[in-house]
Structures are given as structure tokens and as C-alpha cells.
């Protein structure tokens, strides 16, 4: 159950990710993980959505693609950063980003970041982790979306059932 709510400041946190470089077009390249702090979002409008796992059916086919397709609509509404987060490691998130076509949007200023929330720690600090041990996945990030403006939550959509509704691109766009 989410403990964060609209009007709350997001907790400070760090994520690992692999910035896209042309060398990553080689499927054998792995890149070098770097760290991003939520402090870097001060003064920015951020859309962050979370998936339980990269390459999993709903996440891969139904959650990420609409954000990619509607990228320009988000930018037109003043969004500075779009980020997808999961508990997967940064190399898996980088591979998923590349397979999903994020490479052209993975560098500043036009980007969708694929961030690793290691052990779902940041998400868990807001009550947004999910124990999927029964399915063999362990602790994961829940399926949710946040609109963050200058580090303050303006919208939160947490999925309470399988599928993508309140955390999907259309729901978030409607709440910008």
C-alpha cells in the first residue's frame, strides 16, 4: 500500500543506469553504469513509471510502448524527464531500453531513462514495492506512475490489479 501521496516530497534516492552511447548498438557491448540522484530533478517536471520487470509480458508489450509512442505529447506538456524504473539491474534495463527502441531518446535533453531501483529500495520507501516471491521474482517495484514537479508528487497512479490503467501513458497524460 502506497505511503506517499499527492503533495508529498519524494524521498531522496539514487538509481543506476547505463547511458546510451553509439557503442551500445553492438549487442555484445554492455556500457558502464552511472548513478543518477533524485536531487537532479529539482526544478524539473518528471514522469516516472514503474514496471515489475523488464522483458516481462505486460511491461514489455503494454506499459513501455505507449510512453515511447507518446513521447512528444509528454514533452509538449512540459515534461523534462521521462523515466521507467524496475528492480532489474542496470545492464538488464539498458538491454531492454535498446531492444525497445529507447536508444534515440536515451541521451540529454531528449530521453527516456531506464533506471534500476536496486532491490526496489526507493520504491519500497514509498510503499510501492511488491513481493512477487510466489512467482519466483522476489521483491520488485510495484506497477505505478508518478508525476513529480520540483520533487513534489502531483499525481500517483498505482495498479491494484493486473494490467495497465492508472499508470499508463494515457492516464498520466490526462493528469499533466
Report, as residue numbers or ranges, the catalytic residues: 59
E strands along the chain, which residues? 14-17, 34-37, 45-50, 81-86, 112-116, 129-131, 139-141, 144-149, 152-158
Give the whole-angstrom CA distance, residue 3 versus residue 13: 16
Distance (Å) of CA 30 to CA 92, 113, 142, 147, 153: 9, 16, 26, 30, 33
Among 76, 10, 85, residue whose Cα is nearest residue 49: 85
Give the whole-angstrom CA distance, residue 156 versus residue 145: 6
Amino acid at each position: 500500500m502506497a505511503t506517499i501521496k499527492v503533495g508529498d516530497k519524494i524521498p531522496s534516492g539514487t538509481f543506476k543506469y547505463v547511458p546510451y552511447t553509439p557503442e551500445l548498438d553492438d549487442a555484445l557491448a554492455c556500457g558502464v553504469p552511472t548513478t543518477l540522484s533524485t536531487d537532479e530533478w529539482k526544478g524539473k517536471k518528471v514522469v516516472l513509471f514503474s514496471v515489475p520487470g523488464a522483458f516481462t509480458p505486460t511491461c514489455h508489450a503494454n506499459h513501455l510502448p505507449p510512453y515511447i509512442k507518446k513521447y512528444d505529447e509528454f514533452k509538449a506538456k512540459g515534461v523534462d524527464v521521462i523515466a521507467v524504473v524496475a528492480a532489474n539491474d542496470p545492464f538488464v534495463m539498458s538491454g531492454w531500453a535498446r531492444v525497445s527502441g529507447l536508444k534515440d531518446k536515451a541521451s540529454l535533453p531528449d530521453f527516456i531513462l531506464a533506471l534500476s531501483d536496486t532491490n526496489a529500495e526507493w520504491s519500497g520507501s514509498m510503499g510501492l514495492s511488491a513481493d512477487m516471491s510466489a512467482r519466483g521474482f522476489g521483491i520488485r517495484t510495484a506497477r505505478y506512475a508518478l508525476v513529480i514537479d520540483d520533487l513534489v508528487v502531483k499525481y500517483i497512479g498505482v495498479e491494484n490489479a493486473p494490467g495497465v490503467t492508472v499508470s499508463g501513458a494515457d492516464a498520466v497524460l490526462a493528469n499533466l
